[in-house]
Amino acid sequence: MAERSLRGMSIGAKSLESDENVDFAARTDVAYVCPKGHRTILPFADGAEIPDEWECRCGATAHREGDEDREGDEIAKPTRTHWDMLLERRSEDELKALLEKRLQMHREGWIPDYE
Ligand SMILES: [Zn+2]
DSSP symbols for 61-108: EEEETT-TTSSSTTTTSPP--HHHHHHHHS-HHHHHHHHHHHHHHHHT
pLDDT for the residue numbered 90:
78
Residues with CB under 5 A from ligand 1 (ion): 34, 36, 38, 56, 58, 60
pLDDT for the residue numbered 88:
81
C-alpha–C-alpha distance, residues 45 and 55, integer Å: 19
Which helix (DSSP H) or strand (DSSP E) does residue 16 occupy? helix 12-24
pTM of the model: 0.39
56 Cα: distance to centroid of ligand 1 (angstroms):
5
Q: What is the residue extent of each domain of the chain?
A: 27-64, 79-110
Tell me the per-residue pLDDT of 34-46, one tens digit each, with 9 for 90 and over.
999 999 999 998 8
Tell me the per-residue pLDDT of 2-54, one tens digit each, with 9 for 90 and over.
555 555 555 555 555 555 555 566 888 999 999 999 999 999 988 889 999 99
